[in-house]
Amino acid sequence: MSIQLSDQYFKRGRDFLNVKYPIICGAMTWVSEPKLVAAVCNAGGFGCLAGGNAPVEILKKQIEETKLLTNKPFAVNIITITPAYYDHLNLVTEMKIPYIIFAGGLPKGNEITQAKESGAKVICFASAQTIAKRMIRYGADALIIEGTEAGGHIGQVSLNVLIQQIMFETPEIPFFVAGGIGTPKFAAHMFMMGATGIQLGTRFAISEECIAHDNFKKKFLRANARDAVATPTFDSRLPVVPVRALKNKGHESFNKLQLELIEKLDNNTITKEEAQIKVEGFWMGALRNAVVDGDAETGSLMAGQSVGLFDDIKCVKNIIDELVVGIEEELLLIKKTLS
């Protein structure tokens, strides 16, 4: 099927990412590894390799492996709140990675400058209007507006509000939208409203190419939207970035961990920095247990609310092709309706 109408809406994202389709597979720790990233890139989309808290030599090997699997551009996502962050930043700038995505927290201005001076295009997440303004001021080349509907580390504002607060008010910078996106019809309307591109995570987490354990994928296929819940913050001294995941025993264990850490803060037996590291360490370990080992009961099942939209496993190419064809069909239908 021709996608001539979609081409009009894809152009800005296509030019910025240097891809066929401005459809991003979000970086998911333990999930977005070389094979999945390459599969997305080779199918015309844009893959993001997840740095997580991997030892720097492991991340370097993954970057090299991804380059062997695809000759298309891809990004490396580095998380600002992990102990390995500065090592990761130095690595990706030394390796001249063409796209660097800062996630998890707010990068400093000099860190964005370091990335840009390596020749990279810098993409930052914006989960609030104030964050978007700061990242633009620091020099970000593009933003991913991520609503609270997304999986993993999230903000507290819905995508619908963020689009109105950020994207509509700042048309001069490319904006990719994320959080709760799962169907071509909805994606088409995101492009019509001015989005440069879209990002999906949960859908690709249950693709055929995804290395996640079958137990992990089965939980996703059986879940509905309300099963993906965000973790609460119990104390302002422990500024935990909310995490959205399928509710299970692991989710409950994290809440207990927060209460234990707050008690230690009360007793001055732990610092805020040490507590934050323990929080992030919990998620890294729990996510690995679920994705790699298949522990779907006590591991972390990070998923967005779009999990309720999917009930099958498909190859990456089919996922992207269906999105592209569906977007074109919706755009044509809207054009016909208005003519």
Ordered by where they begin, the domains of the chain are 4-212+310-338 (3.20.20.70), 223-291 (no CATH)
Would you give the DSSP letter of residue 302? B
The residue type of 253 is: S
Distance between CA atoms of residues 215 and 255, nearest Å? 23
Q: How many residues does the chain have?
A: 339
Give the SS3 label for residue 75: strand
CA atoms within 13 A on the CB side of 238: 27
**Terminus-to-terminus CA distance in the chain, angstroms?**
22
81-138 residue pLDDT tens: 888 999 999 999 999 999 999 998 899 999 999 999 999 999 999 999 999 999 999 9
CB 116 within 8 A of CB 122: yes
Distance between CA atoms of residues 75 and 27, nearest Å? 9
Mean pLDDT throughout 47-64? 96
- For residue 22, the model assigns a pLDDT of 98
CB 106 within 8 A of CB 78: no
Count of C-beta atoms within a 10 Å radius of residue 224:
11
Mean pLDDT throughout 61-74? 98
Considering the entire predicted model, what is its pTM? 0.94
324-334 residue pLDDT tens: 999 999 999 99
- For residue 81, the model assigns a pLDDT of 85
Report residue 172's pLDDT band, with 50, 70 and 90 as the boundaries: confident
Please give the helix or strand (H or E) that residue 91 lies within, else none: helix 85-94
Nearest-5° Cα angle at 24, 285 to 286:
10
Sign of the CA dihedral running 146, 103, 194, 18: negative
297-333 residue pLDDT tens: 999 999 999 999 999 999 999 999 999 999 999 999 9
E strands within the chain? 23-25, 46-50, 75-79, 99-103, 121-126, 142-146, 152-153, 175-178, 197-200, 228-230, 243-246
Report residue 1's pLDDT band, with 50, 70 and 90 as the boundaries: low
Would you give the DSSP letter of residue 232? P
Report residue 281's pLDDT band, with 50, 70 and 90 as the boundaries: confident
| Mean per-residue pLDDT over the chain, rounded | 94
Nearest-5° Cα angle at 232, 231 to 233:
125
216-256 residue pLDDT tens: 999 999 999 999 999 888 888 887 788 899 999 998 898 89
Mean pLDDT throughout 32-51? 98
CB 165 within 8 A of CB 156: no
Q: How far is CA 105 from CA 18, 48, 204, in A?
A: 26, 17, 23
Nearest-5° Cα angle at 79, 186 to 245:
50
Of 139, 148, 35, 27, nearest in space to 88 by CA: 27
Query: φ and ψ at 305, to 5 degrees?
Result: -70, -15
